[in-house]
Structure 1
Amino acid sequence: MKRKALVIGATGLIGKNVVNQLIQNEGYEKITILVRKSSGLTHEKLEEIIVNFNQLEEYEQYFQVNDVFSCLGTTIKIAKTKENFRKVDYDYSLKVAELASKAKVQNFLLISSMGANSHSNIFYSKVKGEVERDIRTFHFSGLFIFRPSLLLGERKEVRLGEKVAEKFSTIMPFIFSGPFKKYRPIKGETVAKAMINSALSGRKGEQIIESNSIESISRM
């Protein structure tokens, strides 16, 4: 039986790749995306819903799917304030998980970050860690938490750290070998592929997938 998927954060680097790959995947018959503004994507398998993320509970009917791919994420630079950052990365992510759990979604796949830790002194890592911690209060047959390193791929905005890492990984790839392999930048399309493979894997329970494991899962 073919599956249905819901993608949140479909206009971001990973989310966009997830949507494109789901469309091409014969195992999925329908992909729904909840977005603030139109993504510009069109396909017979794709349903785009423009939503107000502050009122996500009004769209709970769209959570009647097999798999939810939660790819929400912003930066302090874009969000402007810590409060706005937390609203997107924590509040919205937890609301998505709550609605998915209520709808008895089979698999919940979350993009977190390397270094996520609810006790971290780094605000970004702390919020990501709090999302991971609190999302565990909801029930899913499969909970997959991905912690990618710096991401490679085309974005609307320039992220200096990612551009620098990309340059180093090209010029001096040996820097990211041995014990530093887990810090090697990874392509957004690779993360997306690993997410879809995980959703189709039949694995149950909680899976924390660190950056150095994502590439191998993408080749499954």
Structure 2
Amino acid sequence: MEKRTALVLGASGLVGQEVTRLLLASSRYQSVTVLVRKKLDWKHEKLRQQLVDFAALEQYESVFSVHDVYSCLGTTIKKAKTKENFWKVDYEYTMSAARLSQQKGVHNFLTVSSIGANPRSIFFYSQVKGRVEEDLKKLSLQGLHIFRPSLLLGEREEVRLGERVAEKFFGIMPFLFTGPLHKYRPIAAEQVAKEMCKAALRDMRGVHIYESNDIANMQ
């Protein structure tokens, strides 16, 4: 069986960390490259860390010669400070990575979007996620896999008060997330990462969208 190679963007984030750990532990992957602004405190024989300027990804096109690209980039308006900076990270960096993946003939481009992604949404966050999805579909990627998780559960480096409150709320009253609200149930970042890795190994061509409740119910 052919050993695979992977590239991860956003390896320091919640889902990106989980994806990277799973890839390093997988016998199916012989090497895992992560694109980072500063070196991560990780050591593994299969891990390669590439310092990059995400605003100039084209300078690092050679690292996109892999089987699978996992795009786990993402920020918040609070962290980005402005809508322009948010757009740059969530839209421009993701699209640059996708175009390079297309050029290099990557088998699978897997990306983390969000529940409610819609370019016509009244919410800027959802608008941007929707625009990214629309424009990714216009590319000629061999396999495009879009994951739309709800609130992500996991240990973050930064404290996000709203998410902490939502986690507590879900823990106390999970029964509220039933029926039509089931799709909004919080989901573990580890679960999203696992399904991303499984999707890559299935090597399916075309566009595939995974809603949050579907991800949670996958085996």
Aligning the two structures, in what range does the TM-score lie when normalised by the shorter sequence?
over 0.9
Amino acid at match of 1:39: L
How far off its partner does 1:124 sit?
0.5
Distance 1:39 1:167 in 2: 30
Secondary structure in 1 matching 2:155: coil
Cross-structure match for 2:138 = 137
Amino acid at match of 1:78: K
The worse-fitting range, judged by mean Cα deviation, of 158-167 and 101-110 is 158-167
The worse-fitting range, judged by mean Cα deviation, of 101-110 and 177-186 is 177-186
**Equivalent residues of 1:5, 1:28 under 8 A apart:** yes
Distance 2:210 2:163 in 1: 20
Secondary structure in 2 matching 1:41: coil
Cross-structure match for 2:198 = 197
Secondary structure in 2 matching 1:26: coil
Distance 2:130 2:175 in 1: 30
Q: Deviations over 1:91-111 (max 9, x none)?
A: 101000000000000100010
How far off its partner does 1:55 sit?
1.0
**Equivalent residues of 2:113, 2:147 under 8 A apart:** yes
Distance 1:153 1:146 in 2: 17
Kindly indicate whether residue 91 of structure 2 is the aligned counterpart of residue 90 of structure 1. yes
Distance 2:72 2:133 in 1: 13
Distance 1:214 1:204 in 2: 19
Distance 1:199 1:178 in 2: 31
Cross-structure match for 2:4 = 3
The worse-fitting range, judged by mean Cα deviation, of 160-169 and 115-124 is 160-169
Distance 1:145 1:57 in 2: 23
Distance 2:37 2:154 in 1: 22
**Equivalent residues of 1:14, 1:192 under 8 A apart:** yes
Cross-structure match for 1:46 = 47
Identity of matched residues, %: 56
Cross-structure match for 1:154 = 155
Q: Deviations over 1:70-91 (max 9, x none)?
A: 0000001000000000000001
**Equivalent residues of 1:194, 1:215 under 8 A apart:** no
Amino acid at match of 1:17: E
**Equivalent residues of 1:22, 1:28 under 8 A apart:** yes
Cross-structure match for 2:183 = 182
Kindly indicate whether residue 108 of structure 2 is the aligned counterpart of residue 107 of structure 1. yes
Aligned length: 218
Specify every segment of 5 or more residues in structure 2 that has no aligned partner in the other structure, as ranges. Answer: none
Distance 2:200 2:29 in 1: 11
Provide the aligned C-alpha RMSD in A.
0.9
TM-score, L = length of structure 1: 0.97
**Equivalent residues of 2:108, 2:203 under 8 A apart:** no
How far off its partner does 1:47 sit?
0.3
Kindly indicate whether residue 63 of structure 2 is the aligned counterpart of residue 66 of structure 1. no
Distance 1:162 1:204 in 2: 35
Secondary structure in 2 matching 1:72: coil
